[in-house]
Amino acid sequence: MSLQARAEIEVLGPPVARTAIVPPPGSGAAARRLGVLPMPKLEWNAEVERSTAHLYEKIKAVVPPVEWPFFAPYVKAINELKQKRNAVILAHNYQTPEIYNCVADFVGDSLQLAREATKTKAEIIVQGGVHFMAETSKLLNPDKIVLIPDLLAGCSLAASITGADVRLLRERFPGVPVVTYVNTSAEVKAESDICCTSSNAVQVVESFGTDRVIFLPDEYLARWVAKNTKVKIIAWKGHCEVHERFTADELHKLREGDPSLQILAHPECPPDVLEEADFTGSTSAMSNWVKRHQPKRVVLVTECSMADNVQTENPNVEFVRPCNLCPYMKRITLPKILDSLVYLREEVEIDPAIAARARRAVERMVQLKN
């Protein structure tokens, strides 16, 4: 374990970068109970064009007309199958526009999605997002069937730490409370006292009234929290491979080209990138900021699809790239969502003992927020 001391933050981490962990396939219990449906016929014809025209209208600024004949048959089939299956689709802000705008029932950040899903009477949840998000949905909706359309939709941040790592940290810092970001596996949440999101991280850290808190696993979010609190932060060297690629230099050059450009950055970005930003916040906070301020030109320093999705709701704002693609989020596609609904796979299953402890950590955060 390497160690770098800071005035108000101490960063620990694994000696080598971990790659995303592939979870085991579901047991198939949901498919055995509810049965597999026939695969719908997928073709582009006048009826498909007519019945999906209102959906294409929403995304025409970001999806060229030549692509719609491929997407539309899937959109129609998925929306019909949702009714048959009594299912809803949750789409994270980083999902592609045709998923986010045309088949999703709820959109937002990971926690918003899981909480929204608790209010629906649907029996099945299909997660448009990555595996830790599907686990969070399952934690908050234990009686529902939660499906992830691709088991390889992982996350570099969630893969950076294991439950065993958290237990070792607890041994090393006895009595120090453990806060984990929601971008973690259920196993890691189960070893934590409470979870947090990028929007409530400082509030959660200060809720203990202690002088030190272990904050896992995102190093840059931890540094951002440390800057905004007097509590000493013991952090972990986990990084989001999408946000860590941005540089202060590229933003500096953009600003030089247009001093009126508004720069909005996610707190998973490195500290020098956040220094260049006019606003730092979660995906939902960035989206709300654009809606409220309606800037002439803006750059969202985060995953690429975010700008496409916010653009559909703010047609008068010009969105300047750069952006970086998340390879895990992009594993979720319309054909895979359709497969999920037809075959009811892959079902997210969490060991009940782990689920009970992980749910407690998430619910503590939710209670704190209220």
Q: Residue numbers of the site for ligand SF4 (CB under 6 A)? A: 130, 155-157, 183, 240-242, 303, 326, 328-329
- Cβ neighbours of residue 24 closer than 8 Å, sequence gap 6 or more: none
Query: Which of 72, 304 has the CB closer to ligand SF4?
Result: 304
- Please confirm whether the linkage preceding 346 is cis (ω < 30° from 0): yes
Q: In whole angstroms, how far apart are CA 183 and each of 131, 155, 169, 221?
A: 10, 8, 18, 11
Minimal distance, residue 258 CB to ligand SF4, in Å: 26
Q: Least distance (Å) from ligand SF4 to the CB of residue 60?
A: 26
Note whether 334 and 74 are within 8 A (CB): yes
Nearer to ligand SF4, 87 or 326 (CB): 326
Q: How many CA atoms lie within 13 A of 303 on its CB side?
A: 24
Pick 127 or 192: Cβ nearer ligand SF4: 127
In the complex, least distance from residue 370 CB atom to ligand SF4, rounded to whole angstroms: 26
In angstroms, give the least distance from the CB of 208 to ligand SF4: 25
Q: Return d(Cα 204, Cα 102) in angstroms, integer.
A: 35
Residues 115/90/202/366 CA torsion (nearest 10 deg): 10
Residue 96 phi/psi, 5° resolution? -65, 155
- Minimum CB separation of residue 55 from ligand SF4 in Å reads 26
Q: In terms of CB distance, is 28 or 327 closer to ligand SF4?
A: 327
In the bound state with ligand SF4, the residue whose beta carbon lies nearer, of 63 and 329, is 329
In angstroms, the Cα distances linking 232 to 32, 225, 228, 260 are 51, 10, 11, 36
